[in-house]
């Protein structure tokens, strides 16, 4: 029997398989497709997401095929700046840059290549899972292998549906989708520059808030450039993706003399969240659990955060260190977090997609160079016993670069809670607290100046970091440290069984 079966090997499933493989679990990952999805999708991810890719073991290779993004500008039909959202060009608190441009197939190739080097992970490509049944405390998956034309079954303790927007697992859970109100059709295409581009739009992403034809430009990696163009009444979905209809839409910037059209597709951008993310041993992550319009470049990022939150909880439950009740904190923590991003993307969509003249004029007055919309984007996890009501709880920890050049997460290792304390603390007392913890808790004495500055910024002597790098909380007394550790005991098998 395998520990975890993952249905769907998009970026979210492939990241989860790497995280779980890294933690020593036996994993099988299915995808009905044999090849990586070929149509244009994600072009941006953030520093927190890069931190998860670091944990998944692909950050160094990924760094060779990304471009650090300087940010995004919103302009109106006359080209006047409405909102400026610059992103820092220096390494930030996560130990990475705030914003990266990338090509989604590059990432997926790296994630799959890393999986092939993990003996405890089996990949089943070209295999369509069509049923999952629960029996005798485990799940049986039934799937069709398209290469062989044969049917098979396989048992796993848990199944995670990373199976995208039309998720089978979501249907098996019986979850409805909550509708957050935005559903618009956009044409999305990538071009490859043939030569230096005379009328280059530069490195910022640009939201052209033109009521006649809202559109987005993104400077991709290498010679790749992205346009996303809103469909207007009268546009024909099948006609508009033809090259002869695409080029006129961008002729004021670029023509077929400058570039080749690589690929294009029409998408309906949705804003939805599943009501239930778990039923017993079945769980959802990524687009299967939520979908967002791409204006913030956060759809995939949210899925990557899901699996960072879920992976260590599944490990703790499967290893018997924690009770299955720990898995209830997954939706409790992730749903409010992702909802905040989707709601902001919907607000941003309304700003970009204002197509009535009066609506657009009102928008232009409101956002006359006012970046306020963007400043609200730092949600904490939703409340759970593992973060609530404790100083700093539920916010993401920093990842200082240590004096020896290592990143802090690499020192902490995977799957541990870490208790980071100032060196003047009595090591033996803290060791004793760590030893009593039901989940793995590792003591790290903060001798490095960058870690001490982080504790200074937290106004804390001790910080307890969860395996997904969010803070359980901070403390300044031994008693507070004990209280924090009691939080972890909430999910001790012995406690919850009693």
Ligand X SMILES: Cc1cc2nc3c(=O)[nH]c(=O)nc-3n(C[C@H](O)[C@H](O)[C@H](O)COP(=O)(O)OP(=O)(O)OC[C@H]3O[C@@H](n4cnc5c(N)ncnc54)[C@H](O)[C@@H]3O)c2cc1C
Contact residues for ligand X (CB under 6 A)? 7-13, 30-33, 37, 40-45, 104, 128-129, 162-164, 168, 188, 267, 286-287, 294, 297-301, 303
Task: Compute the distance between CA of residue 391 and CA of residue 394 in angstroms, rounded to an integer.
Answer: 9
Q: Determine the 3-state secondary structure of 491 from DSSP.
A: coil
CB-based burial label for 248 (10 Å; 0-12, 13-18, 19+): exposed
Task: Please say which residue, 32 or 335, places its beta carbon nearer to ligand X.
Answer: 32
Residue 318 C-beta: closest distance to ligand X, Å: 22
Task: Compute the distance between CA of residue 168 and CA of residue 407 in angstroms, rounded to an integer.
Answer: 38
Task: Please say which residue, 289 or 351, places its beta carbon nearer to ligand X.
Answer: 289
Identify which of 296, 475, 474 has the alpha carbon closest to the alpha carbon of residue 395. Answer: 474
Task: Please say which residue, 213 or 422, places its beta carbon nearer to ligand X.
Answer: 213
Angle at 22 between CA 19 and CA 23, to 5 degrees: 90
Task: Please say which residue, 43 or 433, places its beta carbon nearer to ligand X.
Answer: 43
170 Cβ contact partners less than 8 Å away, ≥ 6 residues apart: 161, 163, 274, 284, 288, 289
Residue 334 C-beta: closest distance to ligand X, Å: 13
Q: How far is C-alpha 383 from the geometric centre of its chain's CA atoms? A: 19
Residue 107 C-beta: closest distance to ligand X, Å: 10
φ, ψ of residue 28 to 5 degrees: the values are -125, 135
For the four alpha carbons of 197, 202, 203 and 206, in that order, the dihedral sign comes to negative
Task: Please say which residue, 99 or 474, places its beta carbon nearer to ligand X.
Answer: 99
Residue 89 C-beta: closest distance to ligand X, Å: 19
Task: Please say which residue, 50 or 455, places its beta carbon nearer to ligand X.
Answer: 50
Task: Please say which residue, 47 or 297, places its beta carbon nearer to ligand X.
Answer: 297
Residue 41 C-beta: closest distance to ligand X, Å: 3
For the four alpha carbons of 294, 298, 302 and 303, in that order, the dihedral sign comes to positive
Residue 46 C-beta: closest distance to ligand X, Å: 8
Residue 365 C-beta: closest distance to ligand X, Å: 29
Q: Determine the 3-state secondary structure of 169 from DSSP.
A: helix
């Amino acid at each position: 029997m395998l520990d975890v079966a993952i249905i769907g090997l998009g970026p979210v499933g492939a990241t989860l398989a790497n995280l779980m493989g890294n933690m020593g679990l036996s994993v099988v990952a299915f995808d009905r497709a044999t090849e990586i999805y070929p149509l244009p999708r994600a072009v941006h991810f953030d520093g927190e997401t890069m931190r998860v890719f670091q944990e998944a073991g692909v950050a160094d290779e990924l760094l060779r095929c990304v471009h650090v993004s300087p940010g995004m500008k919103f302009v109106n039909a006359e080209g006047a700046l409405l909102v400026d959202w610059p992103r820092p060009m220096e390494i930030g608190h996560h130990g990475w840059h705030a914003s990266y441009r990338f090509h989604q197939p590059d990432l997926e190739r790296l994630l799959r290549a890393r999986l092939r080097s993990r003996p405890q992970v089996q990949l089943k490509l070209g295999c369509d899972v069509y049923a999952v049944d629960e029996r005798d405390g485990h799940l049986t998956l039934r799937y069709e292998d398209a290469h062989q034309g044969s049917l098979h079954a396989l048992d796993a303790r848990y199944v995670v549906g990373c199976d995208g927007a039309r998720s089978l697992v979501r249907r098996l859970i019986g979850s409805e989708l909550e509708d957050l109100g935005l559903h618009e059709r956009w044409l999305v295409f990538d071009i490859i520059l043939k030569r230096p581009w005379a009328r280059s739009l530069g490195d910022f992403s640009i939201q052209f808030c033109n009521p006649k034809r809202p559109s987005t430009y993104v400077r991709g990696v290498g010679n790749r450039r992205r346009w996303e163009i809103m469909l207007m009444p009268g546009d024909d979905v099948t006609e508009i993706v033809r090259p002869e209809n695409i080029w006129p839409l961008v002729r004021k910037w670029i023509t077929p003399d400058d570039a080749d059209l690589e690929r294009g597709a029409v998408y309906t951008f949705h804003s939805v969240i599943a009501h239930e993310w778990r039923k017993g041993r079945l769980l959802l992550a990524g687009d299967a659990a939520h979908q967002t319009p791409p204006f913030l470049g956060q759809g995939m990022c949210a899925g990557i955060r899901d699996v960072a939150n879920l992976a260590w909880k599944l490990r703790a439950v499967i290893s018997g260190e924690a009770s299955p009740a720990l898995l209830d904190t997954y939706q409790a923590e992730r749903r409010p977090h992702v909802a905040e991003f989707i709601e902001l993307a919907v607000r941003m969509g309304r700003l970009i997609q204002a197509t009535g003249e009066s609506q657009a004029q009102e928008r232009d007055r409101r956002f006359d160079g006012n970046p306020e919309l963007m400043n609200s984007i730092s949600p904490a996890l939703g409340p759970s016993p593992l973060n609530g009501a404790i100083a700093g709880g539920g916010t993401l920890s920093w990842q200082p670069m240590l004096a020896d050049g290592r990143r802090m997460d690499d020192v902490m290792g995977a799957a541990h809670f870490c208790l980071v304390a100032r060196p003047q603390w009595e090591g033996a007392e803290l060791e004793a607290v760590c030893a009593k913890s039901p989940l793995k808790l590792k003591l790290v004495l903060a001798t490095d100046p960058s870690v001490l500055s982080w504790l200074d910024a937290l106004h804390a002597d001790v910080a307890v970091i969860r395996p997904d790098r969010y803070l359980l909380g901070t403390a300044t007394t031994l008693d507070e440290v004990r209280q924090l550790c009691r939080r972890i005991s909430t999910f001790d098998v012995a406690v919850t069984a009693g």
